[in-house]
Structures are given as structure tokens and as C-alpha cells.
Copies of this chain bind each other. A is one copy, B any other.
Amino acid sequence: MNLLLEKTNQAIEILKEKEIDLWLTFVRETSGVRDPALDFLVGANDLTWESALIFTRQGGKIALIGNLEKEALERLGVFDEILGYDKSLRSLLCETLARLDPRQIAVNTSRNNVHADGLTHAMYEILRGYLDGTPYGGRIVSAEEIVSALRGRKTPTELTRIRRAVEITDEIYRKTFDFIRIGMTEIEVGEFMHRLAKEYGVGLAWSAENCPAVNSGPSSPVGHSGPTNIRIERGHLIHIDFGVKYEGYCSDIQRVGYVLREGETEPPVEVQRGFDVIRAAIEQSREAMRVGVTGNAIDTISREVVIDSGYPEFMHALGHQLGRVAHDGGALLGPLWEKYGDSPNQRLEPGQVYTIEPHVMVPGYGCMGLEEDVTMTENGAEYFTEPQTELKLLQ
């Protein structure tokens, strides 16, 4: 079965579970603003004119779209009923809703999950306008829990793709650390990784400007910024954040190495200590990841390991979900900061994929950060491949 059928069938199961009658994805000109839910409903296709993609608890898969796009949608084999229009969607939408008479109409608006938030404000108002004078305007609810479940609970096909993305990323990291030499710039390291991604025929998991991020030494700016002209020197921590996109699914991994100084055979004590603290933070958080636990509880564990070891807390979430985008939405392993909304209070479910990515700064040496990708099973969180358990040493 292809991925679109897998995911649209899953959507209907989720409607049953959540007891929501109807899920409406309402879009237009998706070459501009593209509702992230479309990836699961129509794949790479764009829809030009106002379109209503409807899924019902009874198993209905209905598309109301511009006549000139009926043919393309029919070929997908996803929708049982495709109704076209030329001049206005209004009457077709109202008639269809009256026929289905749902108790709730769930639309893609969400404060907490950005990837469940594809409905623009003007489209929301247009929809309300169409439903004026019908009983249905008052039945609009948020589809957040539907989309979060659909994106979060990976199907076997999705897990296979993420696993492959992670494996390729591992291989690229291995080749990159073999390639790195003293005196190279961060930019040269980044360009090498771009070349490898191209050789593997994969895309990058986020924008090329800062995928990878490469930080060599204590002066390199850490965060979502790309590599600089800073040169790799002895006594530097080399920290890299990188991910690839394989058949539409992302990896997101950080690795770290240390360039030995003349006469050193092992890293300085404070460097090794930083590594050990980050490893402990990751492992303790991963072990605590059980179905039903909140993401915030997991974040707190790593955060306390870091703070209790005397480092300042990291000013970002411990980890995010991973899927068609590197920062996928829904439940977050995060602190209760306003910018994260309710997402850290949401609970872990089987099939979800998370990153775990604490970091500390080691003064005088640079960024000590690791990021591992794990998938939730009934038995807890499992790594896709081997995590980094030792600091890479460069001569």
C-alpha cells in the first residue's frame, strides 16, 4: 500500500478514536502557503483553487476541488468521491456538509502544533462566511489532536525511511570526521557534507544555509547559524548539527569531536566532563521515555542533570519530534515556556520519533552538544543506530 493510502486510512482510524465526525483541510494556491497536512493527503501535488479535502469517521474520503484538477487527484487513488466546480466552492461545500451533517468540523488550526496550523486567518474567515446561516459555522473545532496523532504516529513505511535517513547521516558523519584537518574552515567542512549528501542522493533536513551548523572552538556562534570562516585549531571542540531528508523523511543528529593539542593524548578534564554530562543527560532522559509520560517530564530530567553538574541550563527544548520536517510538531520534550504553548504537556505515544539534544558550553573550548534520534515503542525509546558514546579525538 502506498504512503498516502496508509496515512489517509490512519486518519480515519484517528477520527474514530477521537470521536470526531469530520476533518476538513481547506486550502487554495498551495504553491504559496502550503498546509503541511497536504503531504499526507495529496503528496507533492498542489491545489490551485479553493479546495476542501474531507475525511469522515464513517470512512469517507471526499475532495471538492476545481474542475481542472480533478484528473490529477483521481490518479492518486486516495479519494472515493471527487466533486469539481468552476466558479465558486460555496454551494458545493454547503451541500456536502449538509449531506454529511457532522457534529464537529475539525479544521487545521492549532496554537500548539505548528504543523497542524495550515489554515490561514483569511481562509478561516472565508470558511465562516460560507457557513453563515447554516448550522455548521458553530461546529468548527481545531483538528490539532487529529493532525498531531497523524504526524506523530509513524507507519512502518515512515519508520523505514527515517531509519535510512539516520543511517545515511551516520555514514556522512564518519566520512566527515575522517576528512577534517587542522586549518580547514567551518565552511569547508559544511561544503564537504553538502557534497556527500548529493552523492547519497538525499536532500537536507533543513535549509542549506545552516545544515550543517559547524562550530569549531569557543568563538563560533552556536545556534541556527551556518558555518563561518573560523579555522579548526588544536584545542577546539568541533560540534556539528546535521540532518538529511530521505524520501521525504528527516534525520537530525549532532556529533562532537575534540582536536588534541600538542602533547595531549586525551581531552582536558573539563572537556571530558562536559561530554560525560551530556551523555548522562541523554541516556537518563531516554530511559525515562515511556508511553503516557509528558514531554516536559523528560525535558526536566536532562535539564536537571546539566544544572546539577554546574552548567547553565540550555535555552531550548531537549528534543522535538522528527518526520517530514526536522522540527515536527505536537508533543515536545520541552520546558514550560510560553513560546512552546501546551506542547510540553502532551504525552508520548508509540510510533513517535524524537530527538534528544542537550548541550553545554565548555569555556575556552566550545560547544559540547550531542543529538540522538529515537523512536517510541511500547517498551520505551529506542535508538535507530548507535549513539555517540565517546568523544571523537582528532590528531
Contacts and interface: CB of A to CB of B under 8 A. Distances in A.
Contacts of A49: 339
A31 B122 contact: no
Contacts of A118: 33, 120
Nearest to A111: B122
Interface string A54-96: 0000000000001111111001000000000011111000000
Contacts of A114: 28-29, 32-33
A279 to B, nearest CB: 22
A206 B29 CA distance: 11
Interface string A16-30: 000000000000110
Given A89-B339, A226-B72, A316-B68, A207 B126 contact: no
A77 B326 CA distance: 27
Nearest to A91: B338
Top 4 A-B pairs, shortest CB-CB distance: A68-B223, A88-B338, A29-B114, A71-B225
A136 interface: no
B33 A221 contact: no
A223 B71 contact: yes
A209 interface: yes
Contacts of A90: 338
A123 interface: yes
A110 interface: yes
11 contacts: A33-B33, A33-B115, A33-B118, A46-B206, A68-B223, A69-B223, A71-B225, A86-B337, A109-B121, A121-B121, A121-B123
A327 B31 contact: yes
A269 interface: no
A315 B111 CA distance: 38
Nearest to A76: B209
Interface string A303-346: 00000000000011000000001110100000001110000000
B338 A87 contact: yes
Given A48-B224, A115-B32, A209 B86 contact: no
A35 interface: yes
A73 to B, nearest CB: 9
A118 B225 CA distance: 24
A325 to B, nearest CB: 5
A68 B315 contact: yes
A283 interface: no
A1 interface: no
A364 to B, nearest CB: 20
A46 B122 contact: no
A366 B286 CA distance: 61
Given A68-B223, A72-B223, A87-B339, 8 more contacts: A31-B325, A32-B115, A69-B224, A71-B223, A72-B209, A117-B122, A119-B120, A120-B121
A325 B88 contact: no
Contacts of A86: 315, 337
Contacts of A68: 222-224, 315-316
Nearest to A337: B87
A181 interface: no
